[in-house]
Structure 1
């Protein structure tokens, strides 16, 4: 119910601006409206695990990696709703571009945007291998040994004491395409001690152990090649939100959370008189229809977030509305508690007992693909963002 509560507060802001009383109380309402909008945006950022929206990006100058776009399309539908919660390892995937320009096959990735609390599940180095130059096509070697090292000492990286082997395997010399190396332990050590993040070094040798010419086996550097072939580090992490979010959360009959456990206070609407009027209208509409799921579209462009969110452009959060009259039928998906409460209310056995409420009894997660402050592309999964179905509780 959290996204719906926040979005309704923002709708309240729009209503306040079109009210006949707006011109008469221009300065008061305008200031109040800005405060409500600011508070609403702040709360919405908290839902997405951010303090401030990314501000450094100028969209159009940077394109997301094809790998991240493909991954997003694999785990999410067109509205960002998760297709299968088991498809993604953890709840966050980050891609980092190389920050180092070197004559060697050397890379450095800035990991400062990763929170210390995030658990590193898997770290992968993605390198795009080019074909050998034409003049070297008929080399007698068919395979080479590609090794990835963690640099321990920048002054000794070309000797064994200055580097640590992370991954090594045979690669066909005449192949082209992405080569992926798992370097999880090295990234974990860099996260625990920033001083260890001195970069990665890649060496290419023949099967006899002789270092090959850089023109024979070539990997893109990110400087002189298309952005879609830039080397990158991909981290699969878990930020721990899921465990904390579900803790103490009420469960429905299918063990799906029926609401958020975050203690967000209710946002004030611009006018007490308007609040009373809207509440009266809402009560009348509840009496006219049974509990059901209705659309509630969240448009990121209207919020002002289209500059840093890649996908989706918005999503349908849905909301639950309607009455839960006695007797409750199975089509209203009532819990046993709701059924008993409905009976007590109908028989007037206890004063002050209301009818059950129409609320989400199944919630789905959505995925957000966006640029962070360092222009890295992040794929993040957020639980309990879409009302999948409604019931009487």
Structure 2
């Protein structure tokens, strides 16, 4: 038990008090004259890894994201991108794809190449914007039509003679207007298994009696002739396996939470406050453990061209002392309380005071464009220090 206390104390001391020289240059021990540009590049590369990327997506100009994705983001995240409720979103990734055929007919094809094969496909939806029927047919005797969505099959790869497979079908009022959503999960899952099987989707509209319907009566917006806000869209909900086992993560991971970015990328308290804190520490009057601002500015990093929301977020950081005796306001663990007592009584040499670290970590959400101009909503775990405690 004594060895365990000493070992954990040494780890705590090393993690809680890295030198300023190390923060400026983590590899200073290896190369005292490392180029600041290389440090910046390495820091951004490390941050990209935190966000699950190898390179930042290419910037394609100011393209308007689908309103559905904007609304979804505002539903799951607050103004800083912090997750409101982890149970609102199915999985941790949502993607929107625009139709690549851009045909005037009811045929659609979506490029799914940006989806990793390791991701679990949860739900796939086809979003079609239904237009009002043309005025000349406004008084048609049909009030409802049967709209069916089929997966187009490659007959050369199957033993069946059928060239399409029914995915979803339901009745839709002829005179309605607005978005209609059809579940097409089975088709997308098959496309992920065999990318070459993606022959697209086909929509068939019939009367209640089963006869064909004039396309002027039941019309859907196409990618060619209508505004981008009404274009056919595939929305895909996936999970990449990083979903936490708990609503709040209480395990502090230095490697995951420390970005090692140059000071210009992050801003915390003002320099005046920082100087006063440093002065008080020199006088042995360190403030008690508490949470301090640590704003990550995506524009300063150079990511504002592809990140839609948020423009940045407050990660916060924990700083301060954990003096004996530890009060409940310090949110100490039993282990920290015991360690504090051992340290105060000097029962063992080398046992430091407990560390001030995050004891709650929350997720944030990013809404951004990927390399193929698809809009992605992705949730990242353990990105915000929700509160601090002595551990």
Match of 2:35 among 23, 32, 49: 32
Q: Secondary structure at the match of 1:122?
A: strand
In 1, Cα distance between equivalents of 2:22 and 2:163: 56
Q: Check conservation: 2:44, 2:261, Cα contact below 8 A.
A: no
Map of 2:12 onto structure 1: none
- 1:82–1:206 distance in 2 versus 1, CA, 3 Å: same
Match of 2:253 among 242, 260, 267: 260
Q: Check conservation: 1:54, 1:373, Cα contact below 8 A.
A: yes
In 2, Cα distance between equivalents of 1:79 and 1:109: 31
Map of 1:240 onto structure 2: 241
User: Residues 103-134 of structure 1: CA distance to partner in whole angstroms, max 9, x if unpaired?
Assistant: 42010000000000000110000000000000
Kindly indicate whether residue 44 of structure 2 is the aligned counterpart of residue 51 of structure 1.
no
Shift of 1:267: 5.4
Q: Check conservation: 2:146, 2:206, Cα contact below 8 A.
A: yes
Count of matched residue pairs:
354
Q: Check conservation: 2:80, 2:312, Cα contact below 8 A.
A: yes
Map of 1:117 onto structure 2: 118
Map of 2:185 onto structure 1: 184
Match of 1:306 among 274, 281, 304: 304
**TM-score, reference length from structure 2:** 0.84
- Following TM superposition, where does structure 1 have runs of at least 4 consecutive aligned residues deviating by more than 6 angstroms? 8-11, 263-266
Map of 1:76 onto structure 2: 77
Q: Check conservation: 1:9, 1:267, Cα contact below 8 A.
A: no
Q: How does 1:66-105 map to 2 (within 5 A)?
A: 66-105=67-106
In 2, Cα distance between equivalents of 1:90 and 1:10: 37
Shift of 1:257: 2.4
- 1:37–1:285 distance in 2 versus 1, CA, 3 Å: farther
In 1, Cα distance between equivalents of 2:122 and 2:315: 29
- 1:161–1:107 distance in 2 versus 1, CA, 3 Å: same
Map of 1:386 onto structure 2: 384
User: Residues 174-201 of structure 1: CA distance to partner in whole angstroms, max 9, x if unpaired?
Assistant: 1100000011111111101111111000
In 1, Cα distance between equivalents of 2:206 and 2:298: 50
In 1, Cα distance between equivalents of 2:71 and 2:203: 26
Q: How does 1:150-189 map to 2 (within 5 A)?
A: 150-153=151-154, 161-189=162-190
- 1:88–1:261 distance in 2 versus 1, CA, 3 Å: farther
- 1:305–1:267 distance in 2 versus 1, CA, 3 Å: closer
Q: Check conservation: 1:286, 1:323, Cα contact below 8 A.
A: no
Shift of 1:10: 11
In 2, Cα distance between equivalents of 1:104 and 1:129: 14
- 1:362–1:264 distance in 2 versus 1, CA, 3 Å: closer
In 2, Cα distance between equivalents of 1:75 and 1:341: 40
Q: Check conservation: 1:370, 1:379, Cα contact below 8 A.
A: yes
Shift of 1:102: 2.8
User: Residues 218-256 of structure 1: CA distance to partner in whole angstroms, max 9, x if unpaired?
Assistant: 10111111111111000111000125xx6xxxx9xx973
**TM-score, reference length from structure 1:** 0.83
Kindly indicate whether residue 204 of structure 2 is the aligned counterpart of residue 206 of structure 1.
no
Q: Which runs of 5+ in 2 are unaligned?
A: 1-15, 264-274
Q: Secondary structure at the match of 2:223?
A: coil
In 1, Cα distance between equivalents of 2:361 and 2:258: 21
Q: Secondary structure at the match of 1:90?
A: coil
